[in-house]
Amino acid sequence: MKNGIATAALSELTAEIAAQPAQGCVAYGVALNWRSGTRAEVEALPMRIGNEQVSRGLRWEIDEPRQLGGSNHAPNPQEYLLSGLGGCLMVGFLVGASVRGIQIEQFSIEVHAELDLAGFLGARAGAPVALGGIRYVMHVQAEAGDAVLEELRELAEAHSPNARTLAHGVPIHGALARTPR
């Protein structure tokens, strides 16, 4: 299959969701368990795709560098955020290229962002807490013109749930539950 993407199956899934909208509804979840300091173990919870419950069985760690009070044993939350964006853009780009019949020989993305720690730490009044912005560069080797590849990049960004979420923001609803002793 070109680029390892089954365009036939993608089209069949699209037709299924067009006919049965509930099949397009996906629910995700992760559970973080604090270990110590800035370290936590994260577990992917069962995912719901349409009418299917999908076991994930995946775990990973999260930490901060020593300079920020951690042990540097795992990527930090901002790096996971950026990789989540990069991975989402990658899927969109490869799907778009496969739909066009374009063979991708090599593909990588660098994603960068900055923030001012003064916001989190409250070191300076009015300092922003959020990232100042996110920049990414796609490095592509393919037999296609620059204009086509740029169009694929734009399509990938336009169809990326993570890019749309970060660009436009979504409400976050938090709650507290006391863990019984």
Partner 1 sequence: MPGLCKGDPRSKAPAVGSAAWVNELGRARRPGPALPAPLLPATLGSSTLSVHAGSHDDPATGAVGTPIYQNSTFVLGADQYRAIDQGYARDRFIYTRYGNPSQWAVQEKIAALEGAESALVFASGMAAIAASVLAMLDRGAHVIASRELYGGTYAFFHHELPSLGFEVSYVDPRDPNAVRAALRPNTMLLFFEAMTNPLLNLVDIAAMAAIARAAGAKLIVDATFVSPLGVRALEHGADLVVHSGSKYLNGHSDLICGAVAGSRKYVDRVWPRLLAYGGCLDPHACFLLERGLKTLALRMRAHQDGAIALANHLAAHAQVNWLRHSARADHPDHALAARQLRQHSGLVAFAVRGGDAAALALLPRLRLMREATSLGGVETLVSLPFNTSHAAFTAEQRAQIGIPPGCVRLSVGIEDPADLIADLDQALAHC
SS3 of residue 142 by DSSP: strand
Residue 75 CB, nearest approach to partner 1 (Å):
21
| Alpha-carbon gap, residue 130 to 78, rounded angstroms | 10
> Can you spell out the DSSP letters for 31-97?
EEEEEETTEEEEEEPPEEETTEEE----EEEE---GGGTS---S--HHHHHHHHHHHHHHHHHHHHH
- Closer to partner 1 at the Cβ: 7 or 76? 7
Placement of tokens 């037999």 in the chain: 143
> Which span sits near partner 1 by CB under 8 A: 47-55, 107-115, 116-124, 134-142?
47-55
179 is an interface residue for partner 1 by CB under 8 A: no
160 lies in the site for partner 1, by CB under 8 A: no
Report the residue from 12, 61, 114, 150 that binds partner 1 according to the rule CB under 8 A.
Answer: 12
How many residues make up the chain in this entry? 181
Question: What are the two backbone dihedrals, phi and then psi, of residue 126, each rounded to the nearest 5 degrees?
Answer: 85, 0
Q: Does the protein bind partner 1 through residue 1 (CB under 8 A)? A: yes
Asked whether position 15 contacts partner 1 by CB under 8 A, the answer is yes
Phi, psi of 112 (to 5 degrees): -130, 150
Q: Least distance (Å) from partner 1 to the CB of residue 61? A: 17
Part of the chain binding partner 1 (CB under 8 A), chosen from 13-21, 107-115, 118-126, 160-168:
13-21
Q: Is 99 in the site for partner 1 (CB under 8 A)?
A: yes
The footprint of partner 1 (CB under 8 A) covers 1-2, 5-12, 14-16, 18, 45-46, 48, 51-58, 95-96, 98-101, 155, 159
